Amino acid sequence: KSFKPVVSQKTIKIAHFRETSALPFYIANEKGYFKAENLNVELVEVDSKQLIDTLVTGKVDFTSAIAWPSVVGFEIEHPEILKPFGIMGESNSGDTIDGFLVKEDSKINKLEDFKGKTIAFDNPRGIPSAKMVFKKIGFDPDKDVVLMDMGKDIIASALLSGKVDAVWTTQPSLTIIANKIKTKIVEPNMRTRYLTDPYWISPMGLTTNNFILQNREIVNKVENALKESLAFIQNNPVETRIIATKYTPLTSDITEKMGVQTYKSTPDNQDYLSMQSIVDSLVEAQILKKGTGLIPMYAK
Amino acid sequence: MPNEFGLEIINLSKSFDNHTVFDDFNLAIPKGEIIGIYGPNGCGKSTFLHLLAGIQEPDKGTIRINNKKPKEIKPGIVFQNYSDHLLPWKKTMENIFLQEKIQKNTRSEEMLDHLSDSQKNLFQNLYPYELSGGQQQLSSILRSLINTDDLILLDEPFSSLDQNIKNQAHDLILKNRQNDRTIVLVTHDLLDSVYLSDRIIVLKGTPVHNKYLNLNTKYNFKDKIDLLHSSFFSDIYKQTMEYIAS
Amino acid sequence: MPNEFGLEIINLSKSFDNHTVFDDFNLAIPKGEIIGIYGPNGCGKSTFLHLLAGIQEPDKGTIRINNKKPKEIKPGIVFQNYSDHLLPWKKTMENIFLQEKIQKNTRSEEMLDHLSDSQKNLFQNLYPYELSGGQQQLSSILRSLINTDDLILLDEPFSSLDQNIKNQAHDLILKNRQNDRTIVLVTHDLLDSVYLSDRIIVLKGTPVHNKYLNLNTKYNFKDKIDLLHSSFFSDIYKQTMEYIAS
Amino acid sequence: MKRSKILYAIGPIAILAGWYFFAYYPTNFNILIPKPVQVMLSFKNFPQILMKSTIATLYTWSTGTLLGIILGILIGFICGYYQNLFKIIEIPLDFFRSIPSITLLPIVALFLGSGLTAKFFIVTFVTFLYVFIHTTYGIKYSRTSKQNLALAWRLNPWQNFREIIFYSSLPSIFAGIRTAITLGLIATISSEMTILGTAGLGKKIIDNMVIYNTTEMYEIIIIIGLIGYATNKLIVILENNVIHWKGH
Amino acid sequence: MKRSKILYAIGPIAILAGWYFFAYYPTNFNILIPKPVQVMLSFKNFPQILMKSTIATLYTWSTGTLLGIILGILIGFICGYYQNLFKIIEIPLDFFRSIPSITLLPIVALFLGSGLTAKFFIVTFVTFLYVFIHTTYGIKYSRTSKQNLALAWRLNPWQNFREIIFYSSLPSIFAGIRTAITLGLIATISSEMTILGTAGLGKKIIDNMVIYNTTEMYEIIIIIGLIGYATNKLIVILENNVIHWKGH
Ligand SMILES: Nc1ncnc2c1ncn2[C@@H]1O[C@H](COP(=O)(O)OP(=O)(O)OP(=O)(O)O)[C@@H](O)[C@H]1O
Ligand SMILES: Nc1ncnc2c1ncn2[C@@H]1O[C@H](COP(=O)(O)OP(=O)(O)OP(=O)(O)O)[C@@H](O)[C@H]1O
Ligand SMILES: [Mg+2]
Ligand SMILES: [Mg+2]
């Protein structure tokens, strides 16, 4: 790998795709935390599937949160390029991040009621965790329930037309659909309640090893700015949501009610264990061909 | 009581854009005749056949064939540009019998008796676009003669035929005369026309009004050579040329 | 020293699938002649013209026109199915001058002197598909005569013309004779052929070998009527018919 | 004429009626169907909210499509004439044609980035493909009689194209253009949905889809549909004026 | 013949060469391009890994497309003959044709659910549209001379269709079919990406995209491309055998 000289005062580019998962970056940008660190930051909007591509081809220096399958999958194909930092997820003490939506008049109120029912997941990562959860309560997840993937755009139609009995989705869809049609949320944050608490869904952001080697200082500054953001989220839930409205397509009636993910700037040992079990479950579910150790990826 | 006309045209008018081809044209022909139509290029002969065939609609006026409307009869027709009217996706023989097959689901095999073996072979094996012009025209004539009850329309049907095949075609047409069938023959060859027709209508440039020559051409000669050298024919020839030049 | 042939065919062979049309055919014609081709339907007349025009390739043999290869000359041509070979997207007059416009970027207006005003109007204002058959054929003849240097190919070019227009076409063709221009005329009308041609080649069914009648038809009559009634013509007529029947 | 206008109205009226019905009739999903009146009213705000996106979409679409059409006709002609060239590009074309552009997008983005260039490339490529195919079809099935004329006249390829083949192929080319402008519009909007770009209706669709703003979604659908319909109508009118020799 | 085979090889070889080049030449994106050899080797595992998905895709695609083609020809003929019916459906068709199916999907899903029915509906609808348009074009531009024959013979609509119009329109219909099978394949895969369905290559694409398994992604792209190419080739062979009267 070639070493390029450090260029000072250069613009730091951060890729995002206008989702709440990039909130810490939006807040740092909005509240001037990047500026305070003397960073000149540009937020670059890209397609959600292009985040890692733009990062590894050098078009940007950082990306916002990307879920484990992509990060780990890329690491397996091309080891030692990506560098995750921070973590994002859900916790029992935090907001509602995911849940099952059922029709308001549905008799389903708890996990046990799902026996014999069909559930659509708008996110393939949901299915392996759901299987583990159902196992915990004594179901055979391959027999007692039908779990299927479905595109985000049609889960509401599927629920309304009775094609499925429930849909499992995450924020902000959870709030949006609940807002739009008469539904109730069942078993919010099942992963923290039945698996591990907190349940870490993804890193907070990514950069590359190459970039760190040449720009360690900048990376530190970015991390500092994001730490400020996390504190802000903790202390200013209302303003956080106003900023979310500004940076995403979401309208205020949604952001006001929506749950915000739990973030942590540096994982500890317990977190690594929890994260690793998630990755392992992805392997078990055959979403990933094989796993990788997350600690080496995070280690500096 | 129905009238006895094979063909009756009343007050027919037809124009293209600003060019009037027929203007209040009237004609009545007894049943069962062969009628020759003779006239200069562009005087409306093909248009007349298209009107009889129901391919074009008159702007005004009435056409009756055996007292029926054009839409009620199913004419046989040889078009002036015959090669465009054979269907290239069917063998020539299928083309010849297609109209009959569609309309009556029969096949008048006896028609083939008039063909030589080599002609039969040709029509059986080749698609129309593989035939020579004259071969295409002969097959078009055959097609028009099969299965048609009231009306056969022949637009310059011998233009590509050699002497022998032309005679063959003449025989075919004469054999297919019937008491209630009108045959309309357009040709620039006056001898052919006189030879085949009972009557020749001579037209003279557009628009066609009610002034036209209506020549009786029934005769008693044994063959075409006799006819050619007869004063009967030279009379008709003179009358026709004079009328057209007038 | 180049030979003096306007048209030279050496060992020409041409088949379609398993049907041989020409088999080692040879012919040599002096420069500047009008040659009539006479023969039964399907004997290969149109195929011969297509070979001369470069539309089809011989299987074997050589063709020379004024000692040039077919690809080196730009012939004028009237096709047997003339109406298919006028371009419907251009007015008739543009069609008539198109070949010249493309090849020389000139416009031989003098050609129009031979037309009547009403003919000129017709060709100027109408698209080919709006013309009658005879009008289309006349415009095809005009197109073939304009701008062609070495060779003019006429396949049954009078089949749809009335008497007067046919005479007009005859005049046009005779006026366009040139010392180094060969005109090949295919027609089933022997009188027309004798009237126009210096020589008639009589073919007799397929395949065409080297047996054919090569009739000198130069004569000295004032007009067609004289010719028709001459013993010169009836001699040629007899010879031709006998040869074909043999 | 009056009667034919009534016929044209039947389709849209039926759709509108269906829309009204499903928006108000108590099905279990009528809540996801916005009320027609609401959608109509939302057009009031078109200038502020959707004008800019509409213009952006129209710009990408028209430029890319025009280029694709011209390339399609020209390369189609060249390939129709030089069969050898056609053989060279035939396999790659038929190969890539079948792959959904969403799959090729990441690869295209590698080479052209994910900006305007990639967007134009995709729109132009799609329209090119269909105009190209239909041009070659037009040439393939142009009448032998006309090509015999070109042979006898020794027309060179360009003369042949200009005077005969182009006109012969026009019906087929127009059919290709109608397919292409529609697919070009779809490609424009789809690529606005995924590829970064300043604005565009595709972007608005995604934004509204995320928040289930069905009213604006339907408004956008109507705008796109109207654009597609109007362009098709224009092309048909153009076609009927140009090809006066229909059937001959 | 040997020479022409070489020509056919040039395109694929050029693409392969380009692929090799970009996979090994040190650009900033060459790590995102899998090595050709790896992808070739991965075909070893095709039976276990992709066979089932391929069959699922082939099934949806072929069934939906076949239905769409038949409907397109039939309804195209009916509309070509009964201009009034055409007028009724023209506006809705040109309207919906231009809207990306991804936008219509939520609406379709409301009515047809989000299962196989919706998938078939979309594939059939897309193929129908293009075959339909090209059938009407074939009819519109079928030769006057042949229609004069139909008039003189007083053929009823069905006889006219069976004996004349169908054959006259075949070149145009085949062009439509070639467009339609490709778009049908694209529609199948795109809907497998979003609509529910256990298997299908579209699903595999999404799965592999998410985990950056570019090797299998490229394998799938190659499979789709080959399917598309092979089908196109078959159609062309069929076409050339059926339409022996080309140009006449
Ligand atoms: N494409 C083809 N395929 C097969 N046979 C053909 C083809 N073209 C011509 N032929 C055959 O070649 C022979 C000669 O045809 P050609 O058109 O030259 O005859 P011709 O002398 O012009 O006849 P006519 O006086 O009827 O015009 C015919 O028997 C015809 O069947
Ligand atoms: N579609 C059309 N548009 C305009 N004028 C037309 C159309 N069809 C025919 N005509 C005109 O009508 C007149 C008659 O044409 P028609 O074909 O009936 O003549 P014809 O008597 O058959 O001539 P010919 O002996 O040359 O075949 C011609 O002057 C022609 O220009
Ligand atoms: Mg006529
Ligand atoms: Mg001939």
The series of mean pLDDT values per 10 residues for chain D, 248 residues long, is 79 91 82 88 89 93 96 92 86 86 79 80 92 92 93 94 94 93 90 73 85 88 92 94 94
Please tell me which residue of chain E has the smallest CA distance to D185.
E98
- CA of residue B39 to ligand 3 center, whole Å: 10
Q: Which chains touch C (3 or more CB pairs under 8 A)?
A: B, D
| E strand spans, chain A | 11-16, 40-45, 62-64, 82-90, 98-103, 118-121, 146-149, 166-170, 183-186, 199-208, 262-264
| Residue B45, ligand 2, Cβ within 6 A | yes
Yes or no, beta carbons of D152 and C81 under 8 Å apart: no
- CA of residue C133 to ligand 3 center, whole Å: 5
| Residue C16, ligand 1, Cβ within 6 A | yes
Rounded Cα distance between D80 and D73, Å, is 10
What's the gap in Å between the CA of B34 and the closest CA on chain C?
A: 21
Backbone angles phi, psi at B22, to 5 degrees: -120, 135
- CA of residue B47 to ligand 2 center, whole Å: 6
Q: Write out residues in chain C with pLDDT < 70, as ranges.
A: 1-3
pLDDT > 70? residue B82:
yes
Note whether A touches C: 3 CB pairs or more under 8 A: no
What's the gap in Å between the CA of D84 and the closest CA on chain E?
A: 7
Q: Which of D7, D179, D224 sits opposite E130 (nearest CB)?
A: D179
- Say what the pLDDT of residue B207 is: 86
What's the gap in Å between the CA of B42 and the closest CA on chain C?
A: 5
| Residue B36, ligand 2, Cβ within 6 A | no
Share of chain A above pLDDT 90, in %: 56
Q: Tell me: the pLDDT tens digits for B101-111?
A: 999 888 989 88
The H helix count followed by the E strand count for chain D is: 12, 0
Q: Which residues of B touch C116 (CB under 8 A)?
A: none
**What is the band of A2 on the pLDDT scale with cuts at 50, 70, 90?**
very low
pLDDT > 60? residue B157:
yes
Mutate to test the pocket of ligand 2, among C86, C132, C168 (most ligand atoms within 8 A of CB): C132
In total, how many domains does chain B have? Answer: 1
| Residue C159, ligand 1, Cβ within 6 A | no
| Residue C45, ligand 1, Cβ within 6 A | yes
Q: What is the pTM of this model?
A: 0.90
Q: Which residues of C touch D148 (CB under 8 A)?
A: 50, 53, 55, 79, 85
pLDDT > 90? residue B174:
yes
| Residue B239, ligand 2, Cβ within 6 A | no
- CA of residue B46 to ligand 2 center, whole Å: 7
Yes or no, beta carbons of C127 and D149 under 8 Å apart: no
Q: Which residues of C touch B164 (CB under 8 A)?
A: 40
B171 occurs within a structural domain = no
Q: Which residues of B touch E167 (CB under 8 A)?
A: 87, 89
- Say what the pLDDT of residue D84 is: 87
Q: Tell me: the pLDDT tens digits for A151-191?
A: 777 888 888 878 889 999 999 889 988 888 889 999 999 99
Yes or no, beta carbons of E221 and D189 under 8 Å apart: no
- Say what the pLDDT of residue A5 is: 44
* Cis geometry, peptide bond prior to residue A172 (ω within 30 degrees of 0): yes
Yes or no, beta carbons of E152 and B81 under 8 Å apart: no
* Residue pair B182/B66 in contact by the 8 Å Cβ criterion: yes
pLDDT > 80? residue A1:
no
Size of interface C-D (CB pairs under 8 A): 52
Q: Tell me: the pLDDT tens digits for A36-93?
A: 999 999 999 888 888 898 899 888 999 999 989 899 999 988 889 999 999 999 998 8
Q: Nearest-5° angle of CA E98, CA E99, CA E102?
A: 140
Q: Could you tell me which residues come within 8 angstroms of residue A191 by beta carbon, excluding any fewer than 6 positions away?
A: A90, A98, A129, A133, A199
Q: Domain of B239?
A: 1-72+190-246
- Say what the pLDDT of residue A7 is: 46
Buried-state track A113-122, b at ≥16 Cβ within 10 A, e below 16: bbeebbbbbb
Kindly list the domain boundaries of chain D, sorted by start residue: 1-33, 43-242
Yes or no, beta carbons of D195 and A47 under 8 Å apart: yes
Q: Which chains touch D (3 or more CB pairs under 8 A)?
A: A, C, E
Q: Which residues of E touch B77 (CB under 8 A)?
A: 149, 152
Q: Which of D99, D224, D226 sits opposite E225 (nearest CB)?
A: D99
Q: Which of D148, D155, D243 sits opposite C55 (nearest CB)?
A: D148
Mutation for testing the B interface, residue in E147, E148, E156 having most B CBs under 10 Å: E148
Specify the CATH number for the domain of residue B34: 3.40.50
Could you tell me if the ipTM is greater than 0.95?
Answer: no
| Residue B131, ligand 1, Cβ within 6 A | yes
Yes or no, beta carbons of A57 and E32 under 8 Å apart: yes
Q: Which of C41, C46, C84 sits opposite B165 (nearest CB)?
A: C41
| Residue B12, ligand 2, Cβ within 6 A | no
Count of other CB atoms within 10 angstroms of residue B128: 26
* Residue pair D167/C89 in contact by the 8 Å Cβ criterion: yes
- Say what the pLDDT of residue B65 is: 95
- Say what the pLDDT of residue A281 is: 86
* Residue pair D104/D114 in contact by the 8 Å Cβ criterion: no
Determine the length of chain C. 246
Please tell me which residue of chain B has the smallest CA distance to C159.
B159
Point out the ligand nearest to the CA of residue B162: 1
**What is the band of B21 on the pLDDT scale with cuts at 50, 70, 90?**
very high
Yes or no, beta carbons of A161 and E113 under 8 Å apart: yes
Q: Which residues of E touch A289 (CB under 8 A)?
A: 211, 213
pLDDT > 60? residue A108:
yes
Q: Which ligand 1 atom is nearest residue C17's CA?
A: 4
* Residue pair B99/B147 in contact by the 8 Å Cβ criterion: yes
Yes or no, beta carbons of D246 and E141 under 8 Å apart: yes
**What is the band of A33 on the pLDDT scale with cuts at 50, 70, 90?**
very high
B24 occurs within a structural domain = yes
C-alpha E32, offset from chain centre: 29
Mean pLDDT by runs of 10 across the 248 residues of chain E is 79 92 85 89 89 93 96 93 86 86 78 78 92 92 93 94 94 93 91 72 86 89 92 94 94
B23 occurs within a structural domain = yes
DSSP3 helix / strand / coil % (chain A, rounded to 5): 45, 20, 35
Rounded Cα distance between C240 and D8, Å, is 67
What's the CATH fold of domain E43-242? MetI-like fold (1.10.3720)
Q: Which residues of E touch A283 (CB under 8 A)?
A: none
Closest-CA residue, ligand 2 atom 11, reads C131
Mutate to test the pocket of ligand 1, among B132, B135, B163, B168 (most ligand atoms within 8 A of CB): B132
Yes or no, beta carbons of E106 and A156 under 8 Å apart: yes
Yes or no, beta carbons of E245 and B53 under 8 Å apart: no
Yes or no, beta carbons of A72 and E211 under 8 Å apart: yes
Rounded Cα distance between A21 and B82, Å, is 75
Task: Give me chain A's average pLDDT, please.
Answer: 89
Rounded Cα distance between D58 and D224, Å, is 10
Rounded Cα distance between B132 and C25, Å, is 19
Point out the ligand nearest to the CA of residue C40: 1
| Residue B16, ligand 2, Cβ within 6 A | yes
What's the gap in Å between the CA of A68 and the closest CA on chain E?
A: 9
- CA of residue C104 to ligand 4 center, whole Å: 30
- Say what the pLDDT of residue C121 is: 94
- Say what the pLDDT of residue C30 is: 94
One-letter amino acid for residue B104 of the chain? K
